[in-house]
Structure 1
Amino acid sequence: MATTASVSKQRTVGGSFLLEEHKLDNVFTPEDFNEDQQMVAKLAEDFANNEIVPMIERIEHKEWDVTRELLKKASEAGLTNADVPAEYGGSEMDKVSSALIADHIAKSGSFSVSYGAHSGIGTLPIVYFGTEDQKKKYLPRLASGELIGAYALSESTSGSDAMNPRTKAVLAADGKHYVLNGEKMWITNANFADLYIVFAKVDGEKFTAFIVEKTFPGFSVGAEEKKLGIRGSSTAPLILNDCQVPVENLLGEIGKGHIIAFNILNIGRFKLGAACVGGARNILSHTIAYAKQRKAFGKVIADFGLIREKLAQIVAGIYTGEAMVYRTVGMMDVALGEVEKGGAEESKETRKAIEEYAVECSIIKVWASEMLDMAVDETVQVYGGYGFVEEYPAERAYRDSRVNRIFEGTNEINRMIITGFLMKRAISGQLPLLPAIKKVMDEVMAGPSTDEIEGALAAERTIVGNAKKVGLLVAGAASQKYMQDLVNQQEVMGAIADIIIEAFAMESAVLRTQKLIESKGEKEAEVATALTQIYIAGAIGRVEASAKKVMAAVAEGDMLRTQLMILRRLVKHEPVNVIALQQHAAQKVLEADKYAF
């Protein structure tokens, strides 16, 4: 089932959202899904409800045959091979459809993880970096679910520092195979996968990827880990003891394993973000159902304001998360649409198109994983004592959620990527960040502007524009203070990233709602407007707090006072009635019994 992207034809530069306003016609939102994409979403939703949900208890009890059978069924439906070319047995969907599957299949944290490891990071290295022989040999069997894939990068001493593994690969004397020695840790699908993408250093120096089959001599799987959450997914170490890997199973180029790792992780990050949004939508349905039947003080707790506040915050998070994920994946599809199919440089150009949005992918991963943690935490609170009881869904969702801030590069690493990647692009001239920083500094020193934004969401658009200016202002101040040493100032880099993340989140929600207002009118977009205002009301406070953290670190005395004065001017806004907005949003989902936007 191939799908085609229904997106704007104008390509967007990755990271440019911080420097310019993106035209509405170039912004892809959930309201832009075409018929094929809507059908894919329904297919994934139906599969999850009909096939996965009835098996959750068996999945949680580590019945690996159940997970394997579900992955095979999902493959037959075209759900696990969305990114595999049709010529190798895949369904070859656009990236929006691929994200929709990850989003709507996320009814079980454990299965979602197994699915992602197989269909994403376990298969895509061969799709994008495999030789023709490797693709013909492995992709049809991975696409059909005959083989289950896994990805082995982390080690006990190199989790976040993944480029420095101890696992070594040495070419055997006969020149026909490599001998791998080492141990990989925390490998998803370890105990039931058939094929592993394993990273090792050739001769202890050159970081390289290999395709390793479980039947290769010297390969074994260690004991299953006893985990806090996602207990129904397999997580175990891989033991490579003189493991013999044929030379034809070397993946990519010797010494270029980092290119594979980074590119595949970018895809893993936006899919993880989509899954987190889907997970929040799923747990919201349980929360609504419980709040409507649980009684206290003579009425259902769904009638209480503080319960409605929790529901509204979760809903605003889902709405904003959808806007962020599909905006990013829409940009990616436009870029991929420009790649010449069948051309000699197709794989290379495809990788470049995906890498273009590395910052946005990291933003989605960080933001969505933390949004889901907020959602499940509030769900436990709504359930009260029952939130701690295993037979209720809140307890498992709470445990399962926590790992998302560690997966696909920790959120700390991703925050470093966000700021570091943007600064690197600025220095190289790929992104005019430095002139933009200078322009903002000149503007703020010149005094308040008399220009006012008019039209729908004028106040919110002003807040978003000023949040971007805050980001540029603190990035400029930090660059002046630390110059080349900025990369070593992790707390400052992290705080700058937090501002950038919130700017992207706020703007994505605003742009989505603007498009809704244009197409359906302000009345029809009333709840969407409320959700946007709810999110922005909290986000601008977080922007201010992060900016103060940076300013206090890079300035003192009169300079600090001047910067704080400018900050106050930029974040100044008239507060909205968040309580009324939350009541309105909560009433909408309580009437629908689910997220209904």
Structure 2
Amino acid sequence: MSTTKKDILRGGQFLVKETNCEDVFTPEDFSEEQRMMRDSAKEFVDRELWAHWERFEKKDYAFTEECMRKAGELGLLGVAVPEAYGGLGMGFVSTMLVCDYISGATGSFSTAFGAHTGIGTMPITLYGNEEQKSKYVPKLASGEWFGAYCLTEPGAGSDANSGKTKAVLSDDGSHYLISGQKMWISNAGFCNLFIVFARIEDDKNITGFIVENDPSNGISLGDEEKKLGIHSSSTRQVFFSNTKVPVENMLSERGNGFKIAMNALNVGRIKLAAACLDAQRRIIDEATKYANERIQFKTPIMNFGAIKAKIAEMATNAYADESACYRAAKNIEDRIAIRQEEGNSHQEAELKGVEEYAIECSILKVAVSEDVQNCTDEGIQIFGGMGFSADTPMESAWRDARISRIYEGTNEINRMLSIGMLIKKAMKGHVDLLNPAMKVADELTGIPSFDTPDYSALFSMEKELIGKLKKVFLMVAGAAIQKYGPQLEEHQQLLLAASDILIEIYMAESTILRTEKNAKRNGEDSQKVQIAMAQLYLYNAVDTITQKAKEGIVSFAEGDEQRMMLMGLKRFTKYPTHPNIVELRKCIADSVAKENGYHFS
């Protein structure tokens, strides 16, 4: 069936339109080729990385480079690169899959891999001209060369367009002279090529350049940074002093650098979420094995309810994260296919396809990076004193996870971006927020229905509750926009609260839809534990949404308006029948314990 005949929601529309479970992609939908790709990446990680995780803690940068070359030999660095430039030319879901499973063993390698395949290679693939792509991309896809991305400066972090690095055109017009300082540059110690952003004259926006790493051309490096985690990820400052760059190495057009940087971050955000998935699975595996083997008070600690609760929550969050990541990845892949069918080039189709789901990319970056941090923290707790020891991988996993909440845009920036982008889409008419928000406002003053719903079908109650949670967002966001208008962006704490509501809706709905789809095709009995995880995640999401919505309401509403909105919140978050959370956690934990690890992928 042609992709154009499928009813694919646009980015952000999940909030105002219902999604059928048949229309979401799940990890259970992987093709045979994708399963083989997953197994190949996992085998590489088990053999080359996980077995030597201690080396990554000893700042063995040469070992990281060696492993990257091996990944290149296996074709793992070129999964997203078109075949014409030496890559495998695989779809977006497959690139997510490899990023997922190759990133589980160590944050050091995961960072090197992401920096090279994503922001090191992708800008040339998507913005380079034919000559640039032919010259550089095959070397990057094979691992003959490695790439790095020079955007951040001492005075330009989240405000990326404020960089001071200058590019001055030579008198004869043949090259630019680049001068400036970049910091926190991953792969700087062994890369062959930099993507560098600099400002030409007094341009409003920065410009991108492809710069070969030649120390004799005014390029010098600072010492390796001393970091909390990702110890064997080469991270150094890069200094440019009148570095000559041929004019033909300008990437895209003059002043287009900020756009390149922002679109690279969109892709980087969803790929970062994928890169946090297998880390969670492996932590759950290790924690479960330890809990099954550790005897205290004459019984394995896995038998204690406190440990069961931790394992259940860890597994549930990992399951939800998988569900949401691959749902969004397939939406992006389908949108790319639609654009190609309409005659767009590969470059334009991929750029616009990812940009369409920038809201979901930010949601996933925040949710999954925070889940992996919580997972590693609970992993340490289950190990107890041994978890605090550097002799077990829990301690290093916790430190490595911490950076994921910072790079690709801090989680605070991404929270505010998700709301800001949603409002912009609404103003452009891409997502109709106004009419649904008005209906919710009318509903607050209306008489609630006292009909007894039929909850006999699987997830009928949960899906109705998801619909009401969407009304919570529309109620809070609609009233806030009406009150503050264009000044809403100045109320950051309110935006953060609204974003948390948006995040929980997307994650909970994705989890339920995945489970419903698999229950329909395999039978509910086969999904007993997955159903428990979907119900547990939703229960936690309702708690979070209730807290954040109340925080938002009392921050801007007063008097009768406040009372009405709080009553609406209570109505929209009310469970018809509360699930037994203790039993749900026990069901999940017992299943994980029996299989001695996470087994839902």
TM-score (norm 1): 0.97
> For the structure 1 residues 5 and 258, does the alpha-carbon distance in structure 2 shift closer, same or farther, using more than 3 Å as the test?
farther
> For the structure 1 residues 585 and 58, does the alpha-carbon distance in structure 2 shift closer, same or farther, using more than 3 Å as the test?
same
Deviation per CA, 1:359-382: give whole Å up to 9, x if none: 000000000000111101111111
Name the counterpart of 2:510.
508
Name the counterpart of 2:54.
57
Name the counterpart of 1:129.
127
- Among 510, 514, 523, the residue aligned to 2:525: 523
Aligned-partner SS, 1:150:
strand
The reply to whether residue 439 of structure 1 matches residue 408 of structure 2 is no
Aligned-partner SS, 1:589:
helix
Name the counterpart of 1:405.
405
Q: 1:363 corresponds to which letter in structure 2? A: I
The reply to whether residue 30 of structure 1 matches residue 32 of structure 2 is no
Name the counterpart of 1:547.
549
Deviation per CA, 1:376-421: give whole Å up to 9, x if none: 1111111111121101111101111111000100001101110000
The reply to whether residue 166 of structure 1 matches residue 164 of structure 2 is yes
What CA distance in whole angstroms lies between the structure 1 residues aligned with 2:440 and 2:269? 31
- Among 585, 590, 593, the residue aligned to 1:590: 593
Deviation per CA, 1:475-527: give whole Å up to 9, x if none: 00100110110011111111111000000011000101110111111111111
Deviation per CA, 1:288-316: give whole Å up to 9, x if none: 11111112112111111000100000000
- Among 134, 138, 141, the residue aligned to 1:140: 138
Note the C-alpha offset of 1:183.
0.7
Matches within 5 A, 1:63-212: 63-105=60-102, 106-205=104-203, 206-212=205-211
The reply to whether residue 259 of structure 1 matches residue 262 of structure 2 is no
Cα contact 1:453–1:461 (8 A) shared by 2: no
Deviation per CA, 1:187-222: give whole Å up to 9, x if none: 111111111111111114331111111116111111
Matches within 5 A, 1:220-239: 220-239=220-239
Deviation per CA, 1:226-269: give whole Å up to 9, x if none: 00011111111111111111111110111111211111111111
Name the counterpart of 1:472.
474
Cα contact 2:53–2:393 (8 A) shared by 1: no
Relative to structure 2, which stretch is displaced further, 552-561 or 81-90? 552-561
Unaligned runs of 5+ in 1: none
Matches within 5 A, 1:176-325: 176-205=174-203, 206-215=205-214, 217-325=217-325
Aligned-partner SS, 2:189:
coil
Aligned-partner SS, 1:61:
coil
Note the C-alpha offset of 1:551.
0.4
Note the C-alpha offset of 1:449.
3.5
Note the C-alpha offset of 1:55.
3.1
What CA distance in whole angstroms lies between the structure 2 residues aligned with 1:348 and 1:89? 20
Relative to structure 2, which stretch is displaced further, 198-207 or 144-153? 198-207
Q: 1:320 corresponds to which letter in structure 2? A: A
Note the C-alpha offset of 1:63.
2.7
Q: 1:580 corresponds to which letter in structure 2? A: E
Deviation per CA, 1:538-563: give whole Å up to 9, x if none: 11010011101110111112211111
Name the counterpart of 1:18.
15
Aligned-partner SS, 1:198:
strand
Q: 2:218 corresponds to which letter in structure 1? A: G
Deviation per CA, 1:96-122: give whole Å up to 9, x if none: 111111111121111111111111111
Name the counterpart of 1:576.
579
- Among 555, 558, 572, the residue aligned to 1:556: 558
Unaligned runs of 5+ in 2: none
> For the structure 1 residues 65 and 89, does the alpha-carbon distance in structure 2 shift closer, same or farther, using more than 3 Å as the test?
same
Name the counterpart of 2:39.
42
**Taking every aligned residue pair, what percent have the same amino acid on both sides?**
43
Cα contact 1:41–1:100 (8 A) shared by 2: yes
Q: CA RMSD in A?
A: 1.7
Note the C-alpha offset of 1:450.
5.0
What CA distance in whole angstroms lies between the structure 2 residues aligned with 1:593 and 1:224? 39
What CA distance in whole angstroms lies between the structure 1 residues aligned with 2:237 and 2:6? 45
Name the counterpart of 1:334.
334
Deviation per CA, 1:262-281: give whole Å up to 9, x if none: 11111111111011111111
Aligned-partner SS, 2:373:
helix
Cα contact 1:152–1:199 (8 A) shared by 2: yes
What CA distance in whole angstroms lies between the structure 2 residues aligned with 1:116 and 1:8? 34
What CA distance in whole angstroms lies between the structure 2 residues aligned with 1:334 and 1:461? 25
Cα contact 2:195–2:210 (8 A) shared by 1: yes
Cα contact 2:4–2:338 (8 A) shared by 1: no
Q: 1:210 corresponds to which letter in structure 2? A: F
Deviation per CA, 1:130-154: give whole Å up to 9, x if none: 0100000000000110000111111
What CA distance in whole angstroms lies between the structure 2 residues aligned with 1:478 and 1:351? 32
Deviation per CA, 1:47-82: give whole Å up to 9, x if none: 100111233233332333322221122122221111
Note the C-alpha offset of 1:8.
8.8
Cα contact 1:60–1:233 (8 A) shared by 2: no
Note the C-alpha offset of 1:453.
6.1
Relative to structure 2, which stretch is displaced further, 192-201 or 64-73? 64-73
Name the counterpart of 1:457.
459
Relative to structure 2, which stretch is displaced further, 49-58 or 161-170? 49-58
> For the structure 1 residues 373 and 344, does the alpha-carbon distance in structure 2 shift closer, same or farther, using more than 3 Å as the test?
closer
> For the structure 1 residues 429 and 592, does the alpha-carbon distance in structure 2 shift closer, same or farther, using more than 3 Å as the test?
same
Note the C-alpha offset of 1:155.
1.1
Cα contact 1:171–1:177 (8 A) shared by 2: yes
Cα contact 2:195–2:208 (8 A) shared by 1: yes
Aligned-partner SS, 2:167:
strand
The alignment of Structure 1 onto Structure 2 pairs a total of residues equal to: 594
What CA distance in whole angstroms lies between the structure 1 residues aligned with 2:598 and 2:383? 18
Q: 2:446 corresponds to which letter in structure 1? A: A
Aligned-partner SS, 2:583:
helix
Name the counterpart of 1:370.
370
Note the C-alpha offset of 1:345.
4.0
Cα contact 1:40–1:101 (8 A) shared by 2: yes
Runs of 4+ in 1 over 3 A off after TM superposition: 4-10, 341-346, 449-454
Cα contact 2:111–2:233 (8 A) shared by 1: yes
Note the C-alpha offset of 1:5.
12
Deviation per CA, 1:3-55: give whole Å up to 9, x if none: x9999943321110000111222211111111111111111111100111233
